[in-house]
Structure 1
Amino acid sequence: MENNNLNNLPKELFKPLVRKEDTSETISKPSRTFGQEARRTLLKNKPAIISLILLIIIIIMSIVGPHMSEYGNDDQNLSRAKLPPHAPGLEKISWLGFDGTLTDDFKGSTVEEAKRKAIARFDNQEKFIDFKVKSKGNGERNSAEVEATYHVYDAKGMGDQYFWLGTDHLGRDQWTRLWLGTRVSLIIAFVAAILDLLIGVTYGGISGFFGGKVDNYMQRVIEVLVGIPNLVIILLMMLFMQPGIMSIVIALAITGWTGMARIVRGEVMKVKNQEFVLAARTLGTSNGSIIRKHLLPNISGIIIVNTMFSIPSAVFFEAFLSFIGLGIVPPNASLGSLINIGFQNLRIYPHLLVYPAILISLIMITFNILGDGLRDAFDPKMHK
């Protein structure tokens, strides 16, 4: 009965089945290597790329910047000491702060008294001072207030001279010293980071790869070094060496690599027991080849990221040492020594502190943002 019903169905309801190729395992996107995926992820991270561009500009300026000014690093002249920024083309825009003037507020019981304080403060050059009364007062103490703008370049007969970022307390060009100081700070940071990379990766790799007693003894050495503060090492270095770049680099190299060594040791211990390493051992691959061809490529991401984060730490450590007088020796400059000079003159000459502080902050922020971008780029879970 059922067969008869099927035979009575119209043939139009039936269509021949066309066999199609199975596409369930077809690769819809081009195959990429791990490095290509990491580069692709990094390029999609706009903050990291902007930070990379800014760092490249800062590095280039640290090389060519000092040569853009006619004044040398130690070109002293007390007659032009503590001049404010005076830049060609920007001197007409007063709010940018490059017009070559000093501005401050002065208070007194009367407007005249406030003006007298301003005149005394600005070398009694009344004809080069512009006053703006902010409060006339009512006779009470410090109830009157005036804003005084001192045209210091005109007062010194230097209206045709330009110091783009002003001068310091000895009349030295801040533009030249700022970029030379940046160069010194970056050299110390990069050298310290390279030493951390070489020593830390080698030490941590050997400790994690061989394990056992070798690992036990090597980790005890790290624990001893970690317990020694960097500042103590710097003071010991100063007993045997002159303060400067070499003593700072050595102090950073003595203990700075311990963090890298611990990270590499943990990653090596995790990777060395995986199947591809065991297969290489089974095929008789030597330990050196296993380390070079299997372990290092698989932990390269964490090594690069940790190195990127160690650079701003070294920049800050050098700046701290120079700020407390244990770093770069005058007349050489670093960002820390420039910040120290600016801090001593912050109230009246803020430009001595503002520009090196902005630059060191920019360096540290961009390195950290770039480090975050590299960490995401070398994380396979972030690849889409």
Structure 2
Amino acid sequence: MDNNQTNNIPKELLVPMKPKEDTSEKISAPSRTFLQNARRAFLKNKLALFSVVALVIIIIMSAIGPSMNEYGQDEQDLTRAKMPARVPVLENISWLGFNGTLSDTFEGQTVEQATNNAYARYDNQEDFIEIEVLNGSEGSAEVKATYNIYDAKDMEDQYFWLGTDTLGRDQWTRLWLGTRVSLLIAFIAAFISLAIGVAYGGIAGFYGGKVDNVMMRILEVLVGIPNLVIILLMMLFLKPGITSIVIALTITGWTGMARIVRGEILKLKSQEYVLAARTLGQSNWKVITKHLLPNISGIIIINTMFNIPDAIFFEAFLSFIGLGITPPDASLGTLINNGFDNLLLYPYMLWFPAILISLIMIAFNLIGDGLRDAFDPKMHK
């Protein structure tokens, strides 16, 4: 259509269009900050949320668990030594293993010989031992013996929820006290490592140059010293216990955090917003604390969450080999060590602390994985 034809169109037909909102510029979703997106992504992670709930329950139980019965941590009584777990109500469900009995299989040339082996194993308390013949053939007889030890020791009205150890101490009380000690050591060591590592790495990365070179050479020397060597040296000056373990974990535990923080600071300190802050005359301290550290807070939190289970495992390892918490004090490591010594005859002494430390380690690692995904913008939808 040319201009002459356009001019011939009646003006009545030309109706002006009403302005409409440009739907292409509409915001289809509410605006969220980075932390809001991170929280939203974390809350969608069911495993991480379950781990948080499990950890909260474990922490609460470590605080109130020892006071839930009348037995003290150091209350010894050899007459009740090596008692199996027995829990009210649950004792009626035999397959759960909380019925307060000891059971094992015994072999012999005949059923009678296998039965006598069972009687000898359980102090010849024949009136309280139930025998079930599994194989009655001559030459390879096998029986299953169930020993009602609570009845044999006239303790029908007593309950040890997780059993007792070789000295008759209540395992429930010692388990939660040991968990409290292990968590306390881990959190203290992680907090100190966090403070030192962030400060050291932040200063080295921000100032760079000779300061960075000197600080990194010192850090490399510390990295080369094994933790076990440090704890052995601590034993020469300090008694085995919480203090020596925390010092050993602190001396080299912060080096990984320092390296991560230094690398992130080196990447961010040349960004425009940092240069703008320095141009406006803000001090180095304000630039670090207000602009750099908040932008790497996610990495710091994630690394801390992974450091805590490492500290728990290191404490348990030291206590297991006899260089950590010393008896009569309890930690998860000492309980596992005690259970390991009685594994063949009384496996329940090892099961409960081993299961609990495994749950703690898995929970912290799942939370760390959830936080890592939450703070990764590529994972947000």
Classify the TM-score, shorter chain.
over 0.9
* Alignment CA distance shift 1:2-1:276 (3 Å): closer
Match of 1:52 in 2: 52
Match of 2:205 in 1: 208
Match of 1:117 in 2: 117
Match of 1:198 in 2: 195
The offset of 1:24, in angstroms, is: 2.5
Match of 2:100 in 1: 100
Structure 2 Cα separation of the partners of residues 27 and 328 of structure 1: 59
State the number of aligned residues.
Answer: 380
Give the alignment of 1:1-384 within 5 angstroms: 17-137=17-137, 139-140=138-139, 143-384=140-381
Structure 2 Cα separation of the partners of residues 150 and 57 of structure 1: 34
The offset of 1:18, in angstroms, is: 4.2
The offset of 1:17, in angstroms, is: 4.4
- SS of 1:24's equivalent? helix
- SS of 1:145's equivalent? strand
Structure 2 Cα separation of the partners of residues 105 and 58 of structure 1: 35
Q: What's the C-alpha RMSD, in Å, of the aligned pairs?
A: 2.0
Structure 2 Cα separation of the partners of residues 250 and 69 of structure 1: 34
Q: TM-score, structure 2 length as denominator?
A: 0.96
The offset of 1:338, in angstroms, is: 0.3
1:152 is aligned with what amino acid? Answer: I
Structure 2 Cα separation of the partners of residues 106 and 20 of structure 1: 89
Structure 2 Cα separation of the partners of residues 241 and 352 of structure 1: 30
Q: TM-score, structure 1 length as denominator?
A: 0.95
Report percent identity of matched pairs: 71
Structure 1 Cα separation of the partners of residues 153 and 18 of structure 2: 95
- SS of 2:146's equivalent? strand
2:193 is aligned with what amino acid? Answer: D
Segments ≥4 residues shifted beyond 3 Å: 1-9, 13-19
Structure 2 residue runs of 5 or longer lacking an equivalent are none
The offset of 1:284, in angstroms, is: 1.3
- SS of 1:103's equivalent? strand
1:243 is aligned with what amino acid? Answer: P
The offset of 1:28, in angstroms, is: 2.5
Structure 2 Cα separation of the partners of residues 306 and 51 of structure 1: 17
